[in-house]
Amino acid sequence: MKKIYKIFVLIGFVFLFIGATNPTLIYTSYTAAIVTKVIQDVKHKTVDSDWIQTKPLTQLKSNDLLNTGKRSVAVLKFVDGSILRVRENTTIMIFADKKEKGLVKNTKLENGKIVFDVNKQIDDDKFIITTPTAVATIRGTSGLVETLSDGSTLLMVETGIVEVESLGDKRETKSIEAGVTSVINPDGSITTNVTTEEQRKNFQSSNKTNEKFIQIQTNRGNFRVYYLDSE
Amino acid sequence: MKKLLFFVCSIFLFNQIVIAQFDNFNFATIPEEVLENSAFNLSIELLDGEQVEQAVLFYRAFGTSKFLPLDMIIQGNRLLAEFNKENVIPPSIECYIKIINSSGIEKFYPSFALETMNFIRIEVRQKIEQTGDIILLSPSPDEILTISEFFLAFSVLRLSDKVKISSTKVFINDTDFSSLIQFTDDLIFIPQGTIRELNIGMNSINIILFDYEDKIINQISSTFQIFNELQKEELQKLKLALNGSVELNLANENLRFGSTTYNRLNVFLNGNYGSLNSNANIYVTNEEKSNLQPQNRFSFQTYNDWFKINIGDHFPTYPSLILSGKRVRGLSSSLMLGFFNLQATYGEITRKIEGELLKGIRRDTIVLDPNLVPIDSLKYGQPFGLIRFGTYSRKLFAVRPSFGSGETFQLGFTYLHSKDDPQSIEFSAKPKENLVVGTDLFIGADQRRIQLNFQSAFSFLNKDIARGNISDATLDSLANNENLGIDPDLLRTFRDVLGNFITVNQHLSPQNPQELPTLAAEGSLILNYFGNYLKGTYLFRGNEYTSFGQNFLRTDIKGFQLFDRLSLFENRVFFSFSYERLNDNLQKTKISTTSFNNYEGSLSLYLRRDFPVVNFTFSNYNTKNDIDPNSTDSLKLTNIIDDNIKIINLSTSYDFDYYIRHKISLSYLNSNKKDNTQKNFSSSFNSFNLSLQNLWNSDLISFLSTNFSNSNIKLRELNYFSLTLGARLNALESKLTNSASVTIFSGDLKRNVFDLSSRYLILKNLSGIFSLRFILNDTNIKNESIINFLLRYEL
């Protein structure tokens, strides 16, 4: 009986150790964000569940995944007020770590495009976006992150400054200022250029999450063409 | 008429506004809370029967002694000024108004403001970062929601260790929904579909957080709109969304100087098509007269992210040295591409007003008179005439190309040309022409924590273009005078080149360009680190600098200004200090040089939302010129200046619960001007104000206000006391709002003021407002009344 008791105590310690060292388990409980707007097909998945349809006020905790389908958009608000607009065909994973004086948020962008509008980060706050090739640390700024078909990451900064670190062999770190767009390549190199008019329009159009429609009346009935406009 | 100086009362008429009487007649209306870097409108009601032809608001931000001008829009007895957000700087803005009435006489409000330093004072609150507050996640104020879509979500991330979530109170439209709240970690929410008792239209939310001792630690209020399904569908359709309002205003003022009736129609339309926004405003009044500058207003504006067009009456904004705060009737357009931007304006800034021939004068009876001009002898029988001068039509053209979006860099170049049209009227003289060229630069670094601003402008002014460019014959005759040492070819080249831009003759200035009398330049550096906002400015404005786009710029001044604002204890305590040192007489055109040494300090406390807000300001202004007081030169002694002004202002306000909600405000102002010269223009002013507002319920508010005022100008003393009592009552499910107040005066001012106001919502989009002010004067003065009726239709 004593042996069984010792085994349970040992197993307990093992779980405690794993819990203390595995960030996945640390993060599991904290509610980091809510979904405030859903357009078309948006799904999410928790650690314990399968993919389920997302509705407004869906709470996203650490390790939760969110996926948008074709012509679909989701708007997330983090508990610090920061906003993430998740564009079509995008998958993200949310992590959050509550500190004594702040909250560390890490959004892993698997594929697709997100637009961020991050509130001022204070004390221990951090807002991080991780892609397969880059880690971007954002402090009170807005812009866009997109994974490109060649595996690289495009980062466009609209306001403020973003610190970006590449994950490839050449591992570089750069500060990207407002009005600048950078591409973080799989080899770790970072190229920066002044944002082109086309890129700026791309950002503006990606920022649109207000659903509107045009109604076309025909003798066979009415048709609606839906589109997205600025909030 | 006795002129007295004081703030009397704060009457809360409809929730959004504060009306404060700032002298014995006139009222200023400002938003209840003015926040830094947020635009707002100031409305002044002049009730002493002035027929205002031109009105300019002079304002100064904390830390500067110079007052900047702002053209006001005249709507009958109401004057409107729009403050741009960049001019809204804590802790306060001081302002006064200069008007020119229909008789051409200048007047100032508040009266004697410049002598006693008693200005209209607008408190500006620092924007407190959302770090310690409730973070509202949903709904957003601009969201399009139906009742079934509504949910409430807010975060207490910054307060999670202090807040007792189970005590949290949530009120929507004053109904307590606290029992419906749920929470997860730092997120507090009420799910979708739980609350059905929402208004179609505007709704309000009030959230109050308590700590573990059940004391309020934080609260926020917000608004949101609810639409029905049909409205939402309409809003979602891509079509021309049009809204607006039509206002018909009939007013009669029966004042001691006479009776006047005003009829005004104001139509405002706002529309959008996709991302294209447009608005139009038409204001028509019976005060429009051909012998005054325009009182009617017509404007149309259309804009999107990258262009803007203004047609009609508008106020284009260029670098402040060149064109700012000036009404233009014409066209302005802006192209904003980011890397390259172009702004252009063309229009009339002064309307022609024909003069009058008072008397024809024979050649042999010419007298020396400034109003004597040559006239058409065939038409009027005499070669000269004594005239009342008219006003030429004056047109203005400005263009400013710039490079950079302005986020971190912008370099701009401005060209302004303005000219009187000598043919526009018959009886006047000395038409003028003005040319200004300037450049401006902005550099922002480290998320705009470092900002460098610079602007400069060089002006040319021709004070009489009636005879056009200087002729070759005149140039040759000047060259023949060997004493002048003039090269006629050089002058001819100068005339031909510069003559492409402005008329070149003997009336053109500057005539001593090497001394830069028409140069104006200023630069500022801002450092904003660790809660410390530090700004240093250097300015130089030559004595002859003139821009027709900026009539009221203080010229003949140079010096520096320093301003420092320190935020302490998580933006709960603000300490501001400023120092300014300026002097005039840059081109040695005056008999003495005057120095201005001014400093100001301010302490603002916003300790907690349930603690009183306290503002304390101390200002010291020293003005002295270099004339020796022991001089025997009487001319010099007449111009001697040596004075010191000290101002202390203390104000506090506190919201508290004692059976019901109360709001109490206290303010004290003391200003002392000491004139150290023999002229002894010393003066002093004291004012103490207490006001109390009681919120009995959402339908009933009562208020009480008292004021004691004492002023002493040139040993003439005036004292009075006033008491205001009033209430506002909503009835018929808020369709009817009635307000009434009475203000009783005692002391040197003997008059009582009765105010009645009633607003009735006739239909959902049609409302009528009737107001009456009756002034019961002292026995020797006629009683006065102002009756106002406003019918408003919302499209």
Phi and psi of A11, rounded to 5°?
-60, -40
Is pLDDT at B141 greater than 90 in this prediction? Answer: no
Task: With residue B245 as reference, give the H or E element that holds it.
Answer: strand B241-255
Contacts for B330 with CB less than 8 Å, ≥ 6 apart: B311, B312, B345, B346, B347, B348, B395, B396
Please provide the average confidence, as pLDDT, over all residues in chain B: 83
pLDDT digits (tens, 9 = 90+) for B4-38: 322 223 333 333 334 444 554 556 666 666 777 77
- What's the distance, CA B140 to chain centroid? 30
The predicted pLDDT at position B26 comes to 59
Residue A22 pLDDT > 90, yes or no?
A: no
Q: What is the spatial distance between Cα B249 and Cα B63, in angstroms, rounded to a whole number?
A: 40
**Residue of chain A whose alpha carbon sits nearest to that of B135:** A81
More confident residue, B216 or B24: B216
CA of B239: which chain A residue's CA is closest? A214
Site of tokens 């907690």: B608
* Backbone angles phi and psi of B346, in degrees to 5: -145, 130
A196 at interface of B, judged by CB pairs closer than 8 A: no
What is residue B175's predicted lDDT score, i.e. its pLDDT?
80
Contact list in B for residue A230 (CB cut-off 8 A) is: 275
| Banded pLDDT at B474 (limits 50, 70, 90) | confident
Q: Number of C-alpha atoms within 13 angstroms, CB side, residue B73?
A: 21
Question: What would the pLDDT profile of B412-445 be if each residue is shown by its tens digit?
Answer: 999 999 999 999 998 888 999 999 999 999 999 8
CA distance B187 to chain A (A): 7
A205 in B contact zone (CB under 8 Å): no
A231 and B142 within 8 Å at the Cβ level: the answer is: yes
Report pLDDT for B352: 94
Is A188 near chain B, with CB under 8 Å?
no
CA distances from A94 to A146, B424, B727 (A): 16, 71, 54
Convert B182-241 into a string of H (helix), E (strand) and C (coil).
Answer: EEECCEEEECCCCCCCCCCEEEEEEEEEEECCCCEEEEEEEEEEECCHHHHHHHHECCCE
Q: End-to-end distance of chain B based on CA atoms, in angstroms?
A: 45
Which residue among A34, A55, A178 places its CB closest to the CB of B407? Answer: A178
User: Tell me: the pLDDT tens digits for B645-676?
Assistant: 999 989 888 878 888 878 888 989 898 989 88
- The amino acid that residue B431 corresponds to is P
Question: Which tokens belong to B261?
Answer: 């009736």
Name the minimum distance, in Å, from the CA of B312 to any CA of chain A: 29
* Mean pLDDT of the region B552-557: 86
Chain A CB contacts of B191 under 8 Å are: 57
- Domain B130-234 carries which CATH code? 2.60.40.1220
Put simply, whether A161 touches B (Cβ < 8 Å) is yes
Q: Residue B9, Cα to own-chain centre: how many angstroms?
A: 21
CB burial of B404-438 (b: ≥16 within 10 Å; e: otherwise) equals: bbebbebebebbbbbbbebebbebbbebbbbbbbb
pLDDT score of A68:
93
Cβ neighbours, 10 Å, residue B476:
13
Share of chain B above pLDDT 90, in %: 28
Residues 6+ apart with CB under 8 A from B692: B662, B663, B664, B665, B703, B704, B705
The whole-angstrom separation of Cα A81 and Cα B130 is: 9
How confident is the model over A87-109, as a mean pLDDT? 89
Confidence of residue B580 (pLDDT cuts 50, 70, 90): very high
Tokens for B325? 């705060």
Number of residues written out for chain A? 231
**Cβ-contact B667, B689 below 8 angstroms:** yes
Distance CA B179, CA B182 (A): 9
How high is the pLDDT of residue B788?
87
Q: What are phi and psi of B150, to 5 degrees?
A: -65, 130
Closest by CA to B427, choosing from B549, B329, B291, is B291
Select from A55, A80, A230 the Cβ nearest to the Cβ of B135: A80
The answer to whether the CB atoms of A213 and B238 lie below 8 A apart is: yes
Q: Tell me the Ramachandran region of residue A37: left when phi exceeds 0, alpha when psi lies from -120 to 50, beta otherwise.
A: beta
Q: What pLDDT shows up at residue B378? A: 86
Max mean pLDDT range (A87-96, A196-205, B94-103, B604-613):
A87-96
The predicted-structure confidence for B43-92, as pLDDT tens digits, reads as follows 887 765 566 777 888 888 776 666 777 878 776 667 888 887 777 877 77
As a whole number, mean pLDDT of residues B719-745 equals 87
B621 or A141: whose pLDDT is higher? B621
Q: Do B137 and A34 touch (CB under 8 A)?
A: yes
CB pairs under 8 A between A and B: 90
Cα gap B457→B452, rounded to integer Å: 17
Quick one: tokens of B415? Answer: 């060209």
What are the extents of the domains in chain B?
A: 10-125, 130-234, 291-355+390-468+503-561, 357-386
Strand partners, A204: none
Looking at residue B610, what is its pLDDT?
Answer: 65
Higher pLDDT, B230 or A98: A98
pLDDT value for B488: 77
Of A122, A159, A227, the CB nearest to B407: A159
Distance in Å, alpha carbon of B184 to nearest chain A alpha carbon:
7
Q: What is the pLDDT of residues B741-789, one digit of tens each?
A: 998 988 888 888 898 989 888 887 788 889 898 989 887 888 888 898 9
Reported as a single tens digit per residue, the pLDDT across B374-423 is 888 888 888 888 888 999 999 999 999 999 988 889 999 999 999 999 99
**CB within 8 Å of B178: residues ≥ 6 apart:** B168, B169, B170, B171
Distance CA B593, CA B495 (A): 35
Spell out which residues of chain B touch residue A231, defining contact as CB-CB under 8 Å.
140, 142-143
Section A170-187 average pLDDT: 88
Short-list B217, B209, B213, B130, CA closest to B165? B209
End-to-end distance of chain A based on CA atoms, in angstroms? 66
Tell me the CA distances in angstroms from B352 to B311, B329, B420, B422, one per residue in order.
20, 13, 9, 10
By DSSP bridging, strand A221-229 and strand A210-218 are antiparallel
Structural domains of chain A in order of their starting residue, each with its CATH number: 2-229 (2.60.120.1440)
Residue B1 has pLDDT above 50, yes or no: no
| Lowest pLDDT segment from A180-184, B193-197, B366-370 | B366-370
- Residues B244-286 pLDDT 10s: 789 898 988 887 777 888 898 989 888 877 668 888 999 998 8
* pLDDT level of residue A214 (50, 70, 90 thresholds): low
pLDDT at B344 over 90: yes
E strand or H helix that includes residue A90: strand A90-99
Q: What are phi and psi of B199, to 5 degrees?
A: -85, 140
Residue A57 contacts B, CB cutoff 8 Å: yes
Q: What is the pLDDT of residues A45-78, one digit of tens each?
A: 988 888 999 999 899 988 899 999 988 889 999 9
Considering only the beta carbons, identify the residue of A56, A81, A215 that sits closest to B192: A56
Binary contact (B187, A119; C-beta < 8 A): no
**% pLDDT > 70, chain B:** 89
CB-based contact B184 A103, cutoff 8 Å: no
Task: For B362-399, give one letter per residue: b (16+ CB within 10 A) or e.
Answer: eeeeeeeeeebbebeeeeeebebbbbebbbbbbbbebe
Q: What's the whole-number mean pLDDT along residues B522-549?
A: 92
Lowest mean pLDDT of B64-78, B293-307, B415-429, B569-583, name the range. B64-78
Choice between B320 and B19, residue whose per-residue pLDDT is larger: B320
Q: Which two tokens stand for residue B517?
A: 């009398």
What is the predicted pLDDT for the residue at A135? 92
Q: A-chain residues within 8 Å CB-CB of B339?
A: 194
Chain A residue with the nearest C-alpha to that of B190? A57
How far is the alpha carbon of B432 from chain A, nearest alpha carbon, in Å?
A: 44
The whole-angstrom separation of Cα B581 and Cα B63 is 11
Nearest to A78 by CA among A40, A146, A112, A129: A129
Secondary structure in 3-state letters for B345-408: EEEEEECCECCEEEEEECHHHCCCCCCEEECCHHHHCCCEEEEECCECEEEEEEEEEEECCCCC
What is the distance between the alpha carbons of residues B283 and B295, in angstroms, rounded to a whole number? 8
The topology (CATH level 3) of B10-125 is Immunoglobulin-like (2.60.40)
Give the pLDDT band of residue B520 (cuts 50, 70, 90): very high
pLDDT of the residue at B169: 87
Among A120, A141, A213, beta carbon nearest to B129: A120
How does pLDDT run across B608-629, given as a tens digit for each residue?
656 788 889 899 999 999 998 8
> Quick one: average pLDDT of B447-475?
90
Of A141, A162, A158, nearest in space to A205 by CA: A158
B447 three-class SS: coil
Is it true that B10-125 and B130-234 share their CATH fold? yes
